[in-house]
Structure 1
Amino acid sequence: MVVSAKFVDNTHPISEMYVFGDSLSDAGMVFRATGGTYPPQPAYYQGRYSNGRVWVEYLSDRLHLTPKQTNNFAYGGAITGNVGNAYVPSLLAQVQSFTQTHQNTNPNSLYVLWAGANDYLQGVTNANIPVQNVTQAIASLSKVGAKKILVGNIPDLGQLPATRTNANSANLSTLTQEHNQGLRRSLKLLSQQNSNLEIVTFNANALYRDAIANPATFGFTNVSNPCLSGSNACGNPNQFLFWDAIHPTTAAHRIISDIAFSAIQEAGIVTPGVISQQSTHFSTMDY
């Protein structure tokens, strides 16, 4: 990953975090919206789409933020565009609800965006559309003063337990590649157009790829099957990459937080005062 040198001299700690996205970042929004019925307990942990906490919660810990300093707008099932429903606002709708009530933002806040997978899983075949939506979401945040942006690319959607053996697997893999390449180009252009923006990307795609190719490196013994089958869970979830047929285990979420933290650390967005010891297993940052 190439990081602009302008990040290196940043001496301000992150004071707040705002999260926008889908089920990979949802820490209970859909659960509360459905009166605690979905995702169902005890198969899922306290409204998370996993067996424990999700990556942004681990990242919050790494940044020494309190729960009051972490504001999570992510909804499971969210797509990037404006189409949504009463329970699940899209990425753009989440950002819009934030910008309407925050006309001036703290420049030392971190804004996290990770979305796009649901668009393709729900049938979108043009990668330009989700990429444009993510880019528009970042531009909207920048207009109210957001400066520090953390963006995730998407893992290979053709290699999920739910998709890898079906007829659409290869097409989903192609769309994933197109999305990630388009996202990289769009974020680079956005940074060039707005010198105040500090955009850092964490490479979820490479992490999943490396975990599937070298599971033992990450402490996994099973990277192809879900731990959860129906309502029955395996006895060793920490050794599984996937909790269900789509979502990672909390063990995988912890590793995702490691690479995200490493990315913002390399960018100079976090200072030595907030850097804790880390045990990341991940170094490859190519797309």
Structure 2
Amino acid sequence: MKLIGSIAAASLLIAPVLSVQPYLFAFGDSLSDNGNTAIQDNNIPYWNNRMSNGPVWNEYAAYFNRLKLVNYAHEGSVTDNDLIASATGIKVGVPSLKDQISRFSATFKNITTPEILAKSIASITIGSNDLKAIATLGSSKIVRGVSAADAAIKSMIRSIDTLHSLGFRNIIFSNFPQPGDVPAVSINSKLESLIASISTRLSNICLSEKVNILNAGYKDKFKKFTIIDLHKTVAVFKNSGVMDVTNIRNTTVGCFIENKDKNLVSKCNNPEGYYFFDSAHPTAIVHAVVGAIVSEALISSKGYSVSPEIVKNLVSKYKLHNVYSGSGPNLNQTFISVLKEKEYNMAEAESNYQKIIQDITS
């Protein structure tokens, strides 16, 4: 994803990165949503309207980089609602990535200049819900499905271009996860999984090629486009050394599992030992690691990379063993108290936009 983030407590190491008061503006889906969408689920104890048992990756990344966070992401979001409705007939009821950026632009029109927003960072996690919708098209519409996936990628690229035109000079975004990485895909038919897999691979190839072009084209005036590879992130947690330092023991199924009818079929008592909290969304420690990876990508001149050794070093550097209090699943409250003072969801941002503008322009 440029996806994933997490937390520790008072003992967390905070990298001294920026001397001004920049912001991290987050857009996208449930991997980034910090409470914009009210979650209606009595079976799974989601934390404060996050699709996890704790804060999401951009909350950790902002904390580690001493940034304030403005979050427009919504659970269930796609790249473009009209595109998905036209391709699949599915009507999405939350703001798309395109809608979120339009709303941001309308609210913060007084600061959307290259000179001002260049101090801040934008992040995007999107695509999983597009592919989920596209995978329902069936075998007779494989060509249509691949075409829709290509259109979703082009829509995402247009959104990135829009953020750049508004003034952002650091943009972080995720690629599309491989269907085999996500337990929820096993619920779908083999055909749907095949369509999703083909669409994902083609989409990620196109996205990587486009990003290379963007980075080359924006040389001298753009700091960097950075992609967080979700497939590599899942894979690295299967390394025994990474499992030891993060205390994750299960990377293949969720702690809480519901069937298609939203009935709970299984649950665990130790979510801190799982990569997935439900059948699709990571736990707090995974989000924390992604937040640390993103933090390093923001401050490194060498770009983004991930490996077992890098992750083990980040767990130590950012003291990610402090995400939870003690050996149980309870979150470290020292970090949680800091979060409340450093972030805004969409409604809060629109109520406090003058203060945010003052922060960035001062």
The bucket for the TM-score relative to the shorter chain is: 0.7 to 0.9
Q: Are residues 1:206 and 2:213 paired?
A: no
SS at match of 1:220: coil
Instruction: Give 2:207's match in structure 1, choosing from 183, 190, 202.
Output: 183
Q: Are residues 1:94 and 2:106 paired?
A: no
SS at match of 1:119: helix
Instruction: Give 1:225's match in structure 2, choosing from 235, 253, 257.
Output: 253
The structural deviation recorded for 1:131 is 1.5
Residue 301 of structure 2 aligns with an amino acid whose one-letter code is A
Residue 151 of structure 1 aligns with an amino acid whose one-letter code is F
Residue 25 of structure 1 aligns with an amino acid whose one-letter code is S
Residue 242 of structure 1 aligns with an amino acid whose one-letter code is F
SS at match of 1:122: helix
The structural deviation recorded for 1:142 is 1.2
CA offsets per residue over residues 106-157 of structure 1, 9 Å max, x none? 2110100111111001116223222211111111111111111111112212
Q: Which residue of 2 aligns with 1:114?
A: 125
SS at match of 1:44: coil
Q: Which residue of 1 aligns with 2:50?
A: 48
CA offsets per residue over residues 159-210 of structure 1, 9 Å max, x none? 3111136413333233222222211111111223333222122222211123
Instruction: Give 1:216's match in structure 2, choosing from 243, 247, 252.
Output: 243
Q: Are residues 1:169 and 2:193 paired?
A: yes
Structure 2 distance, partners of 1:222, 1:86, is: 32
Q: Which residue of 2 aligns with 1:4?
A: none
> Does the aligned pair in 2 maintain the 1:119–1:130 contact within 8 Å?
yes
Structure 1 distance, partners of 2:178, 2:92, is: 29
Q: Which residue of 2 aligns with 1:71?
A: 70
Residue 174 of structure 1 aligns with an amino acid whose one-letter code is I
Aligned length in residues: 259
Structure 1 distance, partners of 2:195, 2:237, is: 21
Residue 73 of structure 2 aligns with an amino acid whose one-letter code is A
Which segments of 5 or more consecutive residues in structure 1 lack a partner in the other structure?
Answer: 1-9, 32-36, 270-274, 281-287
- What pairs up with 1:27-42 in 2 under 5 angstroms? 27-31=34-38, 38=40
Which segments of 5 or more consecutive residues in structure 2 lack a partner in the other structure?
Answer: 1-16, 86-90, 136-144, 259-263, 304-313, 321-362
> Does the aligned pair in 2 maintain the 1:258–1:279 contact within 8 Å?
no
Structure 2 distance, partners of 1:11, 1:241, is: 31
TM-score (norm: length of structure 2):
0.64
CA offsets per residue over residues 73-111 of structure 1, 9 Å max, x none? 000000012438785111111111112332324211010
> Does the aligned pair in 2 maintain the 1:15–1:108 contact within 8 Å?
yes
TM-score (norm: length of structure 1):
0.80
Structure 2 distance, partners of 1:194, 1:12, is: 25
> Percent identity of the aligned residues?
25
> Does the aligned pair in 2 maintain the 1:99–1:141 contact within 8 Å?
no
Q: Which residue of 1 aligns with 2:23?
A: 16
Q: Which residue of 2 aligns with 1:256?
A: 290
Rg bigger for which structure? 2
Structure 2 distance, partners of 1:246, 1:54, is: 14
Q: Are residues 1:156 and 2:178 paired?
A: yes
Closer/same/farther in 2, CA of residues 211 and 120 from structure 1, 3 Å limit: same
Q: Which residue of 2 aligns with 1:123?
A: 134
When structure 1 is superposed on structure 2, of 198-207 and 40-49 the one drifting more is: 40-49
Structure 1 distance, partners of 2:81, 2:184, is: 26
Closer/same/farther in 2, CA of residues 17 and 82 from structure 1, 3 Å limit: same
Structure 1 distance, partners of 2:56, 2:160, is: 22
Larger relative contact order, structure 1 or 2 (CA cutoff 8 Å, min sep 6): 2
Closer/same/farther in 2, CA of residues 42 and 203 from structure 1, 3 Å limit: closer
Residue 269 of structure 2 aligns with an amino acid whose one-letter code is G
Closer/same/farther in 2, CA of residues 194 and 156 from structure 1, 3 Å limit: same
Closer/same/farther in 2, CA of residues 202 and 14 from structure 1, 3 Å limit: farther
> Does the aligned pair in 2 maintain the 1:78–1:118 contact within 8 Å?
yes
